[in-house]
Chain A
Amino acid sequence: MEQLYQQLILDHAKHPAHRGAQEAYDVEVHHVNPTCGDEVTLRVRLDAGESGAPVIGELTWTGQGCSISQASASVMSQAVSGQPVETALALSADFRELMDSRGVLPEKFADDALADGLEDAVAFVGVARYPARIKCALLGWAAMKDAVAQAAATSGQEDRR
């Protein structure tokens, strides 16, 4: 159980990062885990990056749920804030892979650059040993992915206009 509740996860659950509801945002999404009632409401604003590609300018969230879901949303928000949308979505895919790992860190995560990108999210590998909890860990990431995709689609339309 200590592998599941690593200190880092407990710390994030107690002191979550980017928790709040920013004033300026492009999209707000509300995601729930219907099996346990956990929920996350997440706001995101995309800015134009230096290369012109959109970056996550600001991301905040509120929610209620178990320590895994809340800590994961916190870790996610740290990992993706300020990142290009493309990078955030790639991190999300990496995190998904981590959750599908059954608790054995996939080889690719030995790569420091990748582990650095995911930051504290690598600590969630223990969650993958508990199939019932994987959805908890994915909740915040799913909300981010959805919000960013919607925001990118909207800004894309604006660009065309």
Chain B
Amino acid sequence: MTDTLDRTQDGPTPGGTLGAAELAAVRADFPLLQRTVRDGRPLVYLDSAATSQKPEVVLDAEQDFYAQRNAAVHRGAHQLAEEATEAFETARTQVASFVGVPDDELVWTPNATAGLNLVAYAMSNATLGRGGAAAQRFALRPGDEIVVTEAEHHANLVPWQELAARTGATLRWLGVEDDGRIRLDDLDTVVGERTRVLAFSHASNVTGAVAPVNRFVARAREVGALTVLDACQSVPHLPVDLPALGVDFAAFSGHKMLGPTGVGALYGRRELLEAMPPVTTGGSMVEVVTMAETTYAPPPRRFEAGTQMVSQAVGMGAAATYLAELGMPAVAAHETHLAGLLLDAVASVPGVRLIGPAENRDRLATVSFVVDGVHAHDVGQVLDDAGVAVRVGHHCAQPLHRRFGVAATARASAAVYTTDEEIAVFREALAGVRTFFGLGD
């Protein structure tokens, strides 16, 4: 971890971006970025919106946990158990403070999808009467409405479809404008007195558009709806203060923010988590168990049944610390610069159409596009031949692709470790795609 400390000494001025020396130091922290692909080409990794690469401090944290501290957490009277528990709970503090929340408002989940499903199934259980009177605020009935947006990742759509089907509630959604931003004109009509849940993503994994969370939260509060934020794409790339955003719940994953797979986090406001019935039940989440019934532990442990993903949580804690030490304002400024380069690259190549906002404002360095006459899969293959890794397909957002009349797009997405030079390689490779398939200049 000393290398990150060194970097802060010649680090950015407040409000600044990452300097060249600093960026070089960041890249040196990521072993995988040093490798080559496809017959010796330097890797240009532009698929960070799918999963990020991991710095050495994260790899070391997981390794160190298993090599030095591994034991069952929250049980056992031996020293290792104490150390393992401390590592696990320290990680919770690191991740919680990274998004501005107290420890007891942060629940470990296997990934963000599990966090979103946790909320949906807790509501389902409340609807069945579980959790008693306190949980009735989560119960849904026919006539109640759940609102999502057309831009959602399937992870923040399908659980709500299922919840609506189980409870008889109605699923509604906000549409998307031609530039990929959510149609706010409909906010006051779609989100109304019957709305009980408003679930939306902070930033789209396809268009890169950042949603005006304050507008959504204000409207939800007017009508007494709960807000559920899919923060997977925002937390790794923007300074995120969840209490300041004012959402009731938020889910994000470790692996997109330089941490390991197999771990994510769900934030819930304390009074909500306290009133919410459990979903997965079993060991570790109980108070008193008799043969007939059980009382449950307070949150967050009420929602953490069974053996937890301890080493991954420790890794996610290390990732949060790494990003915090770089400074999220500087990370965001660097990525805004990269977004501009990606947008320029896409705009510079004839026959390439951007899917998402062209204006470099309130957007991430996540840029999706289609190439006229060439399927996204084929685009990805030609880029791959130049060492450039992009995502192709529907990016788990079929409705959004249908909205734009395309089955698939290619997506270039940057992260803190992405350089100008890499985007130049991407630009050049993209310029060769249509030529390769014998299409016009």
Contacts and interface: CB of A to CB of B under 8 A. Distances in A.
B407 interface: yes
B394 interface: yes
Interface in A114-161: 130, 133, 136
A102 B186 CA distance: 52
Given A10-B437, A36-B408, A37-B407, A66 B378 contact: yes
Contacts of B436: 5
Nearest to B373: A14
A68 interface: yes
A36 B437 contact: no
A38 interface: yes
A37 B378 contact: no
Contact of B376 (A36, A39, A133): A36
Contacts of A4: 381
Q: Which of B377, B394, B408, B436 has the most CB of A within 10 A?
A: B377
B396 to A, nearest CB: 10
Interface residues of B, number: 18
Contacts of B376: 36, 66
A65 interface: yes
Interface string B393-420: 1100010010000011000000000000
Contacts, number: 48
A136 B375 CA distance: 12
A4 B384 CA distance: 12
A37 B376 CA distance: 10
A49 B407 CA distance: 39
B381 A37 contact: no
A68 B382 CA distance: 13
Contact of B438 (A10, A38, A130): A10
A38 B375 CA distance: 10
B126 interface: no
Contacts of A37: 393-394, 398, 401, 407-408
A35 interface: yes
A133 B401 CA distance: 21
B241 interface: no
A68 B377 contact: yes
Interface string B120-139: 00000000000000000000
Nearest to A70: B375
B222 interface: no
Contacts of A62: none
Contacts of A68: 377-378
B394 A36 contact: yes
Nearest to A11: B438
A35 B395 CA distance: 9
Interface of B: 374-378, 381-382, 385, 392-394, 398, 401, 407-408, 436-438
Interface of A: 1, 4-5, 10, 14, 35-39, 64-69, 130, 133, 136
Given A10-B438, A133-B377, 12 more contacts: A4-B381, A5-B378, A5-B436, A10-B437, A14-B438, A37-B394, A37-B398, A37-B401, A38-B375, A65-B375, A66-B376, A68-B378
26 contacts: A1-B381, A1-B385, A4-B381, A5-B381, A5-B436, A14-B438, A35-B393, A36-B377, A36-B392, A36-B394, A36-B408, A37-B408, A38-B377, A38-B407, A38-B408, A39-B407, A64-B407, A65-B375, A65-B407, A66-B376, A66-B377, A67-B375, A67-B437, A68-B378, A130-B381, A136-B377
Query: 10 tightest CB-CB pairs across the interface, nearest first?
Result: A66-B377, A66-B375, A37-B407, A1-B385, A36-B393, A37-B394, A66-B378, A67-B378, A37-B408, A36-B377
